[in-house]
């Protein structure tokens, strides 16, 4: 994604970013063809490289997990590489824990004194990989990713950290599709108080016009990178395109002088287009005030996108065939296309209701029913069982009266008989 401070910036557009999590470092390459030797890590597999480092997947024995390891090409004796390495460690250390910012596990040096950073491995690749595979993204996905990255930028800006290289190659995707902002290797701290990163590399096709003119980056510069990234997600190319044979000066001149081309898609709402143009304004003061404002607007548009989305119009159905007795060339009735109309209530006096037509008379001769005797109806029995499978109800057995007590007097009778009230 980037070049060194001696080479000047280069422009790997989304079509030139390394695959997979190689976009973590924005395109840093390593020298040498052997795998790094790091205590506690094994099974190194390169997944991306660039101008300053190479990114591997490795197995971490102590925690039994797969991680991404970025190994910087220069050793720690190089002062510029040491500053860059120290700056990135401090930046990601302050921001680790945010759900949309890459998590760093460990930092150190290899056996040959090359610095490395071990971070979470995101198998979903980057947004640049997604654009290469599937082309432009949907409007809802673009707004969702943009709102999450705006939250990450707001957390970085609150910590006085500028990312300075927001682009599709630096937005990684988890297995569930959650976006994560990575590559703080050229980030600057202090909003101008520590601008040692100002001479480092950046990506011209996603850089703000003031950065291309050599001015100091600001919060508005990161917001321009967010707008350029969302534009590329919807259009498939950066805002001012990357044409074959373009030099760095040509791309910078086009970004500074040409007007922004509209996104030729019918599903892009006018409010979405207006927000993108505000983020990509050449005047930094015309952009949103901060990343939190942009995130709120993106969430509002994302909710609006879900409410106003309509299904694609269905093709008209074939008209019904003409009646058999219709003359040749007769027009067929057009199929009904809309919803049935409800008749509005009339304000004039209503006419009397039509009389109900008489019922049709039977054409067959009516047969007279046989006469029946005029005997009074018989009353059905009161308690006759209607279930023949049950046995007839039997009368309860007679209860024998106990014999009278002929023993002692009433005072000496058994208690049981006294309580029961038997009389002699």
Residues 110 and 40: their CA atoms lie apart, in Å, by 11
Secondary structure string (H, E, C) spanning the chain: CCCCCCCCCCCCCCCCCCCHHHHHHCCECCCCCCCCCCCCEEEEEEEEEECCEEEEEEEECCCCEEEEEEEECCCCCCHHHHHHHHHHHHHHHHHCCCCCECCEEEEEECCCCCEEEEEECCCCCEHHHHHHHHCCCCHHHHHHHHHHHHHHHHHHHHCCEECCCCCHHHEEECCCCCEEECCCCCCEECCCCECHHHHCCCCHHHCCHHHHCCCCCCHHHHHHHHHHHHHHHHHCCCCCCCCCCCCHHHHHHHHHHCCCCCCCCCCCCHHHHHHHHHHCCCCHHHCCCCHHHHHHHHHHHHHHHHHHCCCCCCCCCCCCCCCCCCCCCCCCCCCCCCCCCCCCCCCCCCCCCCCCCCCCCCCCCCCCCCCCCCCCCCCCCCCCCCCCCCCCCCCCCCCCCCCCCCCCCHHHCCHHHHHHCCCC
Handedness of CA 163, 167, 169, 173 (dihedral sign): positive
User: Are 242 and 204 contacting, i.e. CB atoms less than 8 angstroms apart?
Assistant: no
Residues 179 and 146: their CA atoms lie apart, in Å, by 9
> Which entry of 114, 164, 189, 287 is annotated as an active-site residue?
164
Q: pTM of the full predicted structure?
A: 0.63
Q: Report phi then psi at 280, rounded to 5.
A: -100, 20
Instruction: Write the pLDDT tens digit of every residue in 308-363.
Output: 554 444 445 555 566 566 566 555 555 555 555 555 555 555 555 566 555 555 55
The predicted structure's pLDDT at residue 24: 36
Neighbours of 307 (CB within 10 A): 6
Pairing of strands 65-72, 115-120: antiparallel
Which residue, 90, 204, 107, 213, is CA-closest to 156? Answer: 90
All residue ranges of the chain with pLDDT < 50 are 1-20, 22-32, 193-199, 310-315, 424
Residues 87 and 187: their CA atoms lie apart, in Å, by 8
Interacting residues of 333 by C-beta distance below 8 A, sequence separation 6+? 319, 320
Q: Is 366 a catalytic residue?
A: no
Assign a CATH topology to domain 42-120: Phosphorylase Kinase; domain 1 (3.30.200)
Cα distances from 120 to residues 33, 181, 270, 276, in angstroms, run: 24, 12, 38, 31
Give the CATH number of domain 125-188+202-308; options: 3.30.2310.20, 1.10.510.10, 3.40.50.300, 1.10.645.10.
1.10.510.10
Residues 294 and 227: their CA atoms lie apart, in Å, by 10
Cα distances from 1 to residues 4, 8, 19, 410, in angstroms, run: 10, 12, 12, 119
Instruction: Write the pLDDT tens digit of every residue in 198-221.
Output: 345 578 889 999 999 889 999 999
The predicted structure's pLDDT at residue 190: 52
Cα distances from 37 to residues 68, 110, 114, 115, in angstroms, run: 14, 6, 10, 11
- Domain segments of the chain as ranges: 42-120, 125-188+202-308
Pairing of strands 179-181, 104-109: unpaired
């Amino acid at each position: 994604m980037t070049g060194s401070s001696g080479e000047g910036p280069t422009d790997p557009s989304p079509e030139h970013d390394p695959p997979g999590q190689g976009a973590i470092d924005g395109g840093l390459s390593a020298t040498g063809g052997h795998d790094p030797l790091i205590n506690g890590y094994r099974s190194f597999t390169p997944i991306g490289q660039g101008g300053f480092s190479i990114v591997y997947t490795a197995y971490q024995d102590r925690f039994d997990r797969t991680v991404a390891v970025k190994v910087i090409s220069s050793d720690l004796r190089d002062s510029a590489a040491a500053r860059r390495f120290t700056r990135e460690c401090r930046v990601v250390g302050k921001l680790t824990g945010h759900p949309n910012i890459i998590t760093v596990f460990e930092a150190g040096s290899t056996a040959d004194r090359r610095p490395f950073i071990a971070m979470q491995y995101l198998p979903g690749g980057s947004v640049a990989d997604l654009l290469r595979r599937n082309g432009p993204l949907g409007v809802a996905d673009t707004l969702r990713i943009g709102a999450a990255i705006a939250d990450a930028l707001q957390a970085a800006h609150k910590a006085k950290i500028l990312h300075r290289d927001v682009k599709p190659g630096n937005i990684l995707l988890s297995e569930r599709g959650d976006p994560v902002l990575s590559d703080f290797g050229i980030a600057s701290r202090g909003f101008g108080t520590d601008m040692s990163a100002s001479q480092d590399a950046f990506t011209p096709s996603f850089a703000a016009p003031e950065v291309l003119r050599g001015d100091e980056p600001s919060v508005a510069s990161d917001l321009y990178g967010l707008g350029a990234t969302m534009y590329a997600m919807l259009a498939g190319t950066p805002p001012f395109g990357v044409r074959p044979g373009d030099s760095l000066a040509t791309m910078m001149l086009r970004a500074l002088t040409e007007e922004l081309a509209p996104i030729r898609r019918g599903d892009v709402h006018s409010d979405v287009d207006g927000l993108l143009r505000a983020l990509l304004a050449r005047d930094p003061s015309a952009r949103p005030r901060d990343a939190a404002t942009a995130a709120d607007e993106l969430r509002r548009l994302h909710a609006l996108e879900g409410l106003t989305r309509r299904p694609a119009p269905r093709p008209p159905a074939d008209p019904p065939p003409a009646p058999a007795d219709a003359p040749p060339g007769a027009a067929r009735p057009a199929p009904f296309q809309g919803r049935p109309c409800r008749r509005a209530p009339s304000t004039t006096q209503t006419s009397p209701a039509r009389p109900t037509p008489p019922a049709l008379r039977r054409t067959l001769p009516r047969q007279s029913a046989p006469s029946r005797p005029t005997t009074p109806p018989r009353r059905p029995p009161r308690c006759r069982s209607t279930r023949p499978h049950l046995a007839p109800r039997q009368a309860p057995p007679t209860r024998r009266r106990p014999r009278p007590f002929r023993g002692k007097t009433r005072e000496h009778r058994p208690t049981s008989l006294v309580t029961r009230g038997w009389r002699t």
